[in-house]
Each structure stands twice: as structure tokens, then as C-alpha cells.
Amino acid sequence: MDSRDSSSAVASDAARDASLLSEDAAVLSVTSTLAKSALSCFQSGKFEDCIDILIQLDQKQHNDPKVLHNMAIAEYFKGGCSKSKKLLEELNCVKKQSEELASAAREQVEAVNPGTNVSVSKDQFDSTVTTLNIAVTWFHMHQYTKSSSILEPLFQNIGRLDETIALQISFLLLDIALACHDAVKFLAVFDYMDKAFGVGFGSHEENGSTMQLSSNQGSKTSSLLSSSVVADTVAESSLCEETLDYDNVLAEIAAEKRMKSVGHIPANNLLKTLSERSFSTADLKLELQLYKVRFLLLTRNLKLAKREVKHAMNIAQKRDSSMALLLKSQLEYAHGNHQKAMKLLVVSGIHKESGTSGIFNNNLGCIYYQLGKYEASSQLFSKALRSCSSLRNEKPVKTFSLSQNKSLLITYNMGLLYLARGEPLLAAQCFQKASVVFCRQPLIWLRLAECCMMALQNGLLDRSEIRVNVVGKGKYRKLMIEENGHLELDGSTQCGKLSLPLARACLSNGIYLLNESLLNESKSDRESTLSVGMNETKEASSADHGEANTNSDLKEAKGGLNQDIMQSSLSAFKDIQSREKLLIKQALLANMAYVELELENPIKALAAANSLLQLPDCSKIYVFLGHLYAAEALCLLNRPVEAGAHLSAYLVGPDDFKLPYEQEDFDQWRMNTSSDCEETLDSSTGNARDSVFLKPEEARGALFADLAALLATQGHHDQAKAMITHALTLLPNNVQATVTAVYIDMMLGRSQDALTRLKQCTRVSFVPGRLEVRAS
Amino acid sequence: MNRSTTVLMKIEESATVLSLLKSDLLPMEAVLSEFNSKLQSSSHLAVCNSLSMMLQEQKMLCGTERLIAFGIIYKCYSSQKPSFNPFLSEMISAACNEQLEKSERAFLLHLLQWNNYNNVKEILKQSAVDYIRSFDPSTHDFPELGELQREYGDKADPGPSSHIFADYSLKKLLHDPDVPRGCDPDSPEFDVQPGGNPRIGSGDRDEALSGLLENSTMAGLAPRWIRPCPPRYSVHQSELLWIDPDNKHELVWDDKMCADTSRGATVRDLLVKGLKMTLSPSEQEDITTELTNDPKLVYHCGITARKLPQLVEHNPQIAVEILTKLNNNKEILDEFLAALVNMDMSLHSMEVVNRLTTAVELPKEFIRSYITNCISSCENAKQQDKYMQNRLVRLVCVFLQSLIRNNIINVKDLFIEVQAFCIEFSRVREAAGLFRLLKTLE
């Protein structure tokens, strides 16, 4: 605050103090003058000078925690914001020290006059700023949970804090909550802010009529555009040059204004810097409105988000509307209006700033991904990553560039893209990098496991063929079916570090995290389960996945209070989340059962399959997989009768199977992965095709084939023969079914049939025995 | 399905085995010990596996070769009880197979040490050729299959893998004779004649044998289970991360460093209290004195534009005091005044403005917009409560009269607005008074 004074005022102030007050006070005023010049050095980016002054101060005020604190900050900036770990150590040290001093001072005061609750040294040893800075640093290191837990005690007592600090804490908490998708926490903080800072928030009409008293340049222009309808259509309907220029002008004005900000590195981008001076009530109002939209987008309440983003546009029209436009673009993206989203993204103008061009490219990449244009998407993500890394390496450090370092998020997107393109190795690398941020989320573990499994499939493409060794010639020509032998010969299972044991580890991580979060959820929601439960049953029947997850069918609390709207969004979002968790759980368990089978661990596979089958509202596809895996595991455990029971769940009549799931169940999956198919993939990347799941009829074929295999082992060769014939009509050319058929033929002594079958199947490769090249 | 490790024979090993099979003139004992010395025990299983597969084909091996092959299988497991031999069941079924030569079956019974067939050592001292030549079928009787199975069957080791698919796996070769259509593949004409030109459909038995030895694997043909890979979990649109720029959470410089904190501490505390309740006269006096003593204190006394309305409501005098002190900082004063305009009309706020007008010179546009606000508040109060509205109108009239009397405002600037206001609320006595005042000024 002091820095508001002009330098001459400072000097005269100091002089007056020195002449009037005691010697002690004189020392104080010298130090406070030094403190002021340290601050001004800091603000103008002269970190070395700043540190010199701080050293002087430290000599005068020995071990003053605040001096040490500022020193740590200045050193950090001097080092180009690279030594975050060191900064954290120092800040923690300062914090500890000031707490010790504070408690010592308190004891002293109480010893002198006990009983009085004096807040004498409150300011001097207050560690709020230090704590905030620790939290900020963790935030930039993407350690959101840590950051949040550090801020929590501050937030508890936020009413007692300085307004600036309180705002900073609140905004940081909001961003943390958004990063963690934690709508509950977000709302708690937002409610506080709405009450404490949201002046007249929520009533729409006042925003046209309010007189702008301040000499803000923007207000003159704003009166021209104050009609909300006009303003909105201008921004929405066109890429109008004027609007863009206007925004830029405002951005520049805003940036200029912020150059004077207190206690901060001067910043020159269009994003808000929090500081007392630059945050006028109107700015704050816009900011809160934007956060409200982000909350609604997070909770997928698109209908209300649309309304609120309009309101945000109205407010923003007088200022910087780039963020509002960006949110509008996100809204259209969520609606699936990709063209519109793209347009708005461009209008938002964030690509013009080096600080946000990475974000622009990332978002555009998301749009292209949804359009199924993977090549373009991939280029955009790479571009986004490049601009992030160039931002980090920028010298001198102009802003706290770490704060816009979104590279880990972009890396996650990249991982999804590689996975969609069937490149598991690259995808896994991305997910592993991004796990720094997402390691608490079950989904990333599922994705990593999928990478392993895809690598396995790609590496073992041979498995999709039957290899028949042709030995001898002429009269002595013999065929030897070699079905298992090529595993070691391939050597390709060692795809980088991906392996089935890794997949298993990832899946158990995912299951653990998911169970943990489900447990927490049920704990915290015990009171409100009633209403949630009712919604769930209603909506769960409508669909399992996809579109149902938009919150749009939410009752629009028109005219309701701000809080009510957000509260109802929140509870609807909780439903969505718990439904999604259930889906992820199904996927995790199904994958687990599969991986355990691959690892020849039938006991664990059976356990996973059984837990999958016990899940409530399990999707039909996963139920089918659960039965199939359980049956196979039971076979491997020599429990054929129980295995048969799993398969006969789908029997209709003595020897026919119904469809294990309907076309619509299957379509749901296909719809969600439809973007995979839009791009015409050439045969080289055709591996991705392999992950396309069985159609309902094919699944029925699998049931026939598996029952045939089971019957064959039980010696019921004739029944098995009938089953496998069914299977092969549904799954012609299926390798496993063909092998089983050959087996049954041979068991029935019809080796001529077997021979014909092998020769007719297109997926048999006859390998001349002699030509085999062997290294050893 | 079953991925148990595959054991393949090396080329040189298969060559050795092939040559041993052909050593029909050497004592079988010698052949078997040579087998032991040339092949490591680790490859025994693979060899036995291949041999057993070839033994199932009656035409693959000739009589002496079959004897030696069974001998090798026997030898590999001779140190253990017969029931540990994984190929026991094949030996048993061969011993009972009526289609096989009696000499071979007797040989197997010796190997199995069935009842009185116990001179295996003696027999192995002969060469394979000699054994067959000297064999006398009349001296032997052969047991039923069931008998042998009872003896050994239930003791038989389940073999290397134990689940049902592997148990039922089939080690069998498929015949696929490559001979011209209509020819009998069993005819000896298709055997390779030494020195003769190879003809279509001819094949070399030895070549086939070594091919089988080299290529055979442990696993047999078993029914296979279709195990679909679970579908990839679909990418919901929200999983792809759309990024919004954050607020820039900067590190904050602690500007309280070396600040004189004792100064003004009491004022700050009192003012925090003053946001919530009316302060006592002595407390108010303390604040006034402190503010006068330290002109800078007003900037860090904790009162901001946002907190001003609360202060106005509870302690209007202090609010006036603070606003007066801010007079020389235009920028901040503007902000505070804006807060004043935007807050709800009340007696206290009008009192503050009224007193402020006498203390300092206020910006014209502020007073103007404040009055406009007052008037519109009165109009909007209609919906609420008649009594409240009347009260508000009276207050505004008094306030305006005071401003006019003190020459704070130029009536001409606001004449039409105020006149309309007076007419609208002419039922209120003070409004009529104000109207008369306006008339006198005209």
C-alpha cells in the first residue's frame, strides 16, 4: 500500500518522521525507506539491486522473517524462476521462524498483562503472505492438493485478512478447484467471494444504468456499447475487425494500468494480475462472472452456462472480453458446435499473445480431435507444446511464466491422441509425463494400462493367424499346427517399457484410487443421498454413457438465487461424476480380468471378473465380458461346470444363444469412439482397428465358440461340433474358432475335414519347416 | 491360450537324435547311453515330445526306430518311478495296440516292467535288429488295456500343464500327402530312390523326420477360447482438456516488511469494529485524533472502497473523516465516491454526502449522479412500502434543500429533474416546500 506514495512524498515523509520521533523511530524510518526502495527495485525487475538492499536490511533487522521472505522471492526471480524446490524450502523456513517468533511474542505479552487478548505483533510476525507464496509455488508445480491444503487454514480465517490477500487466496483456491474438477470446493469458495466481494451481483439490469465515475478510458466507449443486446450480437455474429481492435486497445490499457501494481512483477498481458489497485469492483465483478461460467461448464450445465456467458459478455464489453469469448467457445465446443467454437476461439484473440498462444493451439487441437482430424490435431498439440517450452525459456523472465505453463495438460491430450491413432508407446510416454498432475485420477491409470494392452496386441499381430508348419515333402508331407510357439520368437512383446505386469500395476492403482474416492463420496454425501439416488435411477436407465452426461436437462432455476442455481448444478454434476466413476470402474475391472488372464493368473482374473459382475447397473457389454472372462478363468482352474454356468446365462433353449448385448449398446460405444473411424486410416495404422469391439452378432459367435471349446474338453465332441459350426458362421475366419474346430474334427477322427478347414481358412499361414531361420 | 514355454530342439540335437534312431545295429544300451551323453537333460522333454508325436504315426518310423524311440523315452525317465513319466499313457496304449507288432508291444511291456517282463536290462543289451529277429511271439501274453491303466493310469502324472485345455491338448500330425491325384500315397514308388531322379510326389522320410524333430513344440493342439480384448474406454469430450488461462498467481512481495506496524494498529482495530457497530464517542475521538496526527494513516487504515458502505451505515462521522482525509488523492477518492453512489440510499449516506459537501469540494458529476440516484431510489421505493417511500422522499427533499441553500449545487443543472420529482411527490409536505424553494430561485 505504501508504494502508492510518490517517491518525493516518501522522502518528505521519512524526513518528517525522523525529525519528530524518537531515535528508535528514526531507525525504523531508515529501514522503511530502504524497504520501499527494495520494493521499487523489485517491481522494475532489478533483482540484484533489490537483493543488495535486502542484505542491508537484514543487517539492520537481524533475522526479520519478512526480509528473509522477500529475499527468497527476489532470489527466485533472479534465478529465472527455476529453483522452485529451493524457494519452497526457504519459504517454509521463514514460515516456521515467524510462527516461533509470534508465539514467543504472545507469551511475552501475556506474561506482562495476563488475560488480555492483545494482537500486538499480529502484523510483524504474520506469516499469511509466506503461506500464500508457498501455496502459489505448489500450484505452479501442479501440486494442487498440497497447495489447497496449505491454503485451507487461511481460508478458514479469511474474513480477518487484508482484502488483497483474501482475494488472492480465493482466486487461487478457485483455480485449484477447477484444476481438480472439484466443484464442491469451488462452490464453497465462490459463495464466500460472492458474499464478500460480489457487489449487487446477479441482478442484471443495474449494469447498464450504473454511472461510471472513474476516469477509466474504457467507460467512454462503453456507453456506446452499453446496450447488452447489441454488444452481444456484435461479438458473436462476426469476426468484426472493430471489435478485435477495441479489445486490443482495452487490453493495452489494462496492461498499462497494471504496470503500477503493487507488490508484483510488472505484467503485460491481457490476463488479470491480482493486485489491489488494478482490481476495481467492476473488474472483480467480471472476474466472478467468468468463474461462474467456468463452474457451470465444469458441472456441464450448458443451458445456464449459455445464459451466464451472455451476461459475462455484457460486462466484458466495457473491458477485456477475450476470456468471455474463450468461454463461449468452450461452451460451443461442449455443445458439439465445432465450427462455431473455432470461430469464437479465433475471435477471442488469445493466439496473438505469446503467453496464451499455446492455450489457443491446444483448444483448437481439441476441436480437431473431436472432428476426427487427428493429423491436424497432432500438429496443433505439438505447436502448443512448443510455444509452452519457448515461454519457459524466455529471457529475461517477464512474467511468472510458469503460471501459464500448461504443457502437462497438453501432453495428456497428446497421449489421448496417440492412443486414438494406435501408437501406444508414444501415448504411454505422454501419460507418464502428465501423471505428475493427474496421478490421483483413476482414468490416467486406465489409459496407461490401455497403452500396454495395445502394445501387446500390436506386437503380437501374428496371433491373429494360425501357423501351420509344413514338414517333409511329397508322400511324407505332414502338417503341424503350431499355435502357441511364437511368443519368444517375436521378441516384440518388449515394447519399450510397456508390459502386462505394468498394465496390471496401473489397473490396480486405478481401482485403488477409485475405491478411495467412492468411499469419500459416500461419506460426505450421506445426508444428501436421498435426492441424488432418485435422480440416478431416473437417468441411469436413459443411457450409460456419452450424451446423457451433459447437465442440460437440469431444471432451470429461473429467477432463483445465484446460489440455488449453482447448488443445483453441483448436485447434478455429482450424479454425473458418480455415474462416470462407475463406468471407469467397469472398464478397470474388465481390463484387470483380461490382463490377469493374459498373465495366466486365473484366480485373480476370476476375482476381477466376479467384482465386475457384481457392480450395480453394469453395462451389458461389460457384463458379457465379465461372464466370458470368468468362464475362461474357471476353465483354467479346472472348474468346467461353473464355467458352463457363466456361458449358459445367455442360452435360450438347449443350443442357442441370444445376443449378449443389443446393437444400441454397441452403438453407444461406437458413437463415443466414432471419431476414430472418420479419418480414413491407411493400412499401416490399421492396428487401431483391432481395438474395435465385437459386434453383437460376433459376441454371440464368441459364446458359441467358447461353449464349443468347453464341451470339447469335456468329451462332448458331437455337441461341440454343432456349436463350433454356429460359431464359424458368425465368425468366419476367426482364428480361435478355427483351431477349436480343427481340434474337434481330429477328435472325431475326421482329419480330412480338419485339413480342408485349414486350407480354406484365410488366416492360416503355412510355414515351410526348413526355411525357418534360427539365430541359435 | 497356453503360453507355457516352448522348447524347440536345436538343429544339431535333432541330427543326433535322428542318427541314434538309425543305429539299429548297435546294442540299444549303447545307443541310449550315447543319447544321455550327447543331449543335455534340459532338452529331454522336447525330444520325447517329438518322438511321441512321431510314434503316434505308424508309418513315420520303422520298427527298429520305434523301439529305439520308446527306449529313449524310457531312458529319460528311468531314474524315476514309471508313473512319473509324462508319456506313460502313450506307452500303455501302444503296448495294448493290436495293430502294432507284437515284438514292439512286448518290448514296451518290458520297459514298463509289467509282471514277468522284467529283464529289461537283458533286452537292451541287444541291438534293435537282433531283438526283433529273435523275438518269439508265442512265449508272450498281452494284458488288456484296462489292466495296464489300472496299474499305472491313476498314478500317472498330469503332465507339465494342469488346466483342462492343456490336458486335452492333442499332439497329432495331420497327413497331407502331396502326391498326384489318384495315386496311392502309401505306395513305395514315392519314396526317394537312391540315385534316381526325384519325381512329383516323392518325399524323403528322413527329411520329414528331422523337420518334425526341429519344429515340434511342447504344446499340442487344444480347443481355443475366444477372449475378446476389452474395448478402449471411450474418450468423453471432457477428458480432452480444454484449457482456460488462469489468473496469474504471482508470488507476492510482503509489503509489510519493515513497515511501522505499531503506528495505526489501534486505529485499524477500531475501524474493523466500526464496520459492524457504532463506536463509542471516545473511540471515535481516538480515531479522529490518530488520523489527524498521521495524514498517511488513512491509506493503510484498512478501509477500502468496498468496505466504505458498511462504515457509512454504522459510523457516518468517521466515514466523513476518512473521505475528507483522502481529498488530496483524487484517484482513490473517486473510487470511494463511486462506492458511495452505488450503495443503497439511506439517511446515513445522505448525511455523509451532505457533510462532505461542506468540508471539501466534490466533483460536480459525483453530486449530479448522487442526486439522480436519490431520485430514482425514491421512485423505485414505490414497490416496497408507502411509509418507507415517504420517509425517503422527505429525506431527499431536506438533503436537496440543504445543498441548494449552501450553494453546493447549481439548481439550473438539475432543474427539470428536481421539479419533476417535486411534482411526482407533491403529496409529501417537504416536496412542496422544495418546489416552492425552486420557484423562488427561478
Residue A427 has pLDDT above 90, yes or no: yes
Which residue of chain A comes nearest to B333, CA vs CA? Answer: A214
User: Cα separation of A645 and A627, whole Å?
Assistant: 9
CB pairs under 8 A between A and B: 432
User: Cα separation of B99 and B112, whole Å?
Assistant: 19
Contact flag A484-B2 (C-beta cutoff 8 Å): yes
Could you report the per-residue pLDDT of A710-736, keeping only the tens digit for each?
A: 998 888 888 899 999 999 999 888 888
Based on C-alpha coordinates, what's the Rg of chain A? 33
User: Cα separation of A179 and B201, whole Å?
Assistant: 74
Match 454434476 to its residue by C-alpha cell.
A573
User: Cα separation of A464 and A739, whole Å?
Assistant: 11
Q: Answer yes or no: are the C-beta atoms of A266 and A259 closer than 8 Å.
A: yes
Secondary structure string (H, E, C) spanning B273-300: HHCCCCCCHHHHHHHHHHHHHCCCHHHH
User: Cα separation of A511 and A534, whole Å?
Assistant: 26
Question: Residue A604's pLDDT is what?
Answer: 94
Q: Which residues of A touch B214 (CB under 8 A)?
A: 769, 772
Question: Residue A653's pLDDT is what?
Answer: 77
User: Cα separation of B97 and B144, whole Å?
Assistant: 10
Tell me the C-alpha to C-alpha distance, in Å, between residue B291 and each of A312, A716, B301, B327, B336. Answer: 40, 102, 9, 13, 17
Among A202, A38, A65, residue whose Cα is nearest residue A127: A65
Question: Residue A483's pLDDT is what?
Answer: 55
Residue A506 has pLDDT above 90, yes or no: yes
User: Cα separation of B344 and A651, whole Å?
Assistant: 75
Section A384-390 average pLDDT: 85
Q: Which residues of A touch B209 (CB under 8 A)?
A: 472
Instruction: Kindly indicate the confidence band of residue A666, based on its pLDDT and cuts at 50, 70 and 90.
Output: confident
User: Cα separation of A457 and A444, whole Å?
Assistant: 20
Angle at B32 between CA B26 and CA B38, to 5 degrees: 110
Question: Residue A101's pLDDT is what?
Answer: 83
Measured between CB atoms, which of B167, B233, B252 is closest to A133?
A: B252
Section A293-303 average pLDDT: 91
Q: Which of A473, A721, A726, A750 to mutate to test the interface with B (most CBs of B within 10 A)?
A: A473
A764-768 and A656-657 strand pairing: unpaired
3-state secondary structure of A577: helix
Contact flag A475-B260 (C-beta cutoff 8 Å): no
Could you report the per-residue pLDDT of A696-710, keeping only the tens digit for each?
A: 888 999 999 999 999
Q: Greater confidence, A557 or A160?
A: A160
Residue B234 has pLDDT above 70, yes or no: yes
User: Cα separation of B358 and B365, whole Å?
Assistant: 16
Instruction: Kindly indicate the confidence band of residue B258, based on its pLDDT and cuts at 50, 70 and 90.
Output: confident
Contact flag B226-A120 (C-beta cutoff 8 Å): no
Question: Residue A428's pLDDT is what?
Answer: 92
Among A348, A349, A381, residue whose Cα is nearest residue A364: A381
Instruction: Kindly indicate the confidence band of residue A399, based on its pLDDT and cuts at 50, 70 and 90.
Output: very low
Which residue of chain B comes nearest to A585, CA vs CA? Answer: B233
Q: Which residues of A touch B335 (CB under 8 A)?
A: 214, 280
Q: Greater confidence, A692 or B149?
A: B149
Contact flag A469-B215 (C-beta cutoff 8 Å): yes
Residue A276 has pLDDT above 50, yes or no: no
Residue A527 has pLDDT above 60, yes or no: no
**B266–chain A nearest CA distance, Å:** 9
Contact flag A672-B236 (C-beta cutoff 8 Å): yes
First-to-last C-alpha distance (Å) of chain A: 80
Match 458446435 to its residue by C-alpha cell.
A337
Q: Answer yes or no: are the C-beta atoms of A608 and A593 closer than 8 Å.
A: yes
Q: Which of A261-275, A334-348, A404-418, B23-37 has the lowest mean pLDDT?
A: A261-275
Could you report the per-residue pLDDT of A113-128, keeping only the tens digit for each?
A: 544 444 444 556 778 8
User: Cα separation of B325 and B323, whole Å?
Assistant: 5
Contact flag A669-B176 (C-beta cutoff 8 Å): no
Which residue of chain A comes nearest to B371, CA vs CA? Answer: A211
Strand partners, A766: A468
User: Cα separation of B47 and A431, whole Å?
Assistant: 47
Instruction: Kindly indicate the confidence band of residue A751, based on its pLDDT and cuts at 50, 70 and 90.
Output: confident
A651-652 and A478-482 strand pairing: unpaired
Q: Answer yes or no: are the C-beta atoms of A763 and A735 closer than 8 Å.
A: yes
Could you report the per-residue pLDDT of A591-628, keeping only the tens digit for each?
A: 999 999 988 899 999 999 999 999 988 888 999 999 99
3-state secondary structure of A560: coil
**B130–chain A nearest CA distance, Å:** 28
Instruction: Kindly indicate the confidence band of residue A566, based on its pLDDT and cuts at 50, 70 and 90.
Output: confident
How many other β-carbons are positioned within 10 Å of the β-carbon of residue A221? Answer: 15
Could you report the per-residue pLDDT of A472-504, keeping only the tens digit for each?
A: 777 777 777 765 433 333 334 444 578 888 899
Angle at B292 between CA B287 and CA B294, to 5 degrees: 95
Could you report the per-residue pLDDT of A120-177, keeping only the tens digit for each?
A: 445 567 788 899 999 998 888 888 889 999 999 889 878 767 777 888 899 999 999 9
Contact flag B175-A168 (C-beta cutoff 8 Å): no
Among B362, B291, B415, A210, residue whose Cα is nearest residue B353: B362
CB neighbour list of residue B412: distance below 8 Å, 6 or more residues apart: none
How many other β-carbons are positioned within 10 Å of the β-carbon of residue A185? Answer: 18
Residue A275 φ then ψ, to 5°: -165, 160
Q: What is the mean pLDDT of chain B?
A: 78
Angle at A733 between CA A732 and CA A735, to 5 degrees: 125
Q: Greater confidence, B401 or B194?
A: B401
Q: Greater confidence, A390 or A683?
A: A390
Q: Answer yes or no: are the C-beta atoms of A106 and A126 closer than 8 Å.
A: no
Instruction: Kindly indicate the confidence band of residue A511, based on its pLDDT and cuts at 50, 70 and 90.
Output: very high
Question: Residue A143's pLDDT is what?
Answer: 86
Question: Residue B225's pLDDT is what?
Answer: 87
User: Cα separation of A157 and A166, whole Å?
Assistant: 9
**A702–chain B nearest CA distance, Å:** 6
Which residue of chain A comes nearest to B363, CA vs CA? Answer: A213
Tell me the C-alpha to C-alpha distance, in Å, between residue A534 and each of A537, A538, A572. Answer: 6, 7, 11
Q: What is the mean pLDDT of chain A?
A: 73
Match 452456462 to its residue by C-alpha cell.
A305
Contact flag A163-B307 (C-beta cutoff 8 Å): yes
Tell me the C-alpha to C-alpha distance, in Å, between residue A451 and each of A413, A448, A591. Answer: 14, 5, 12
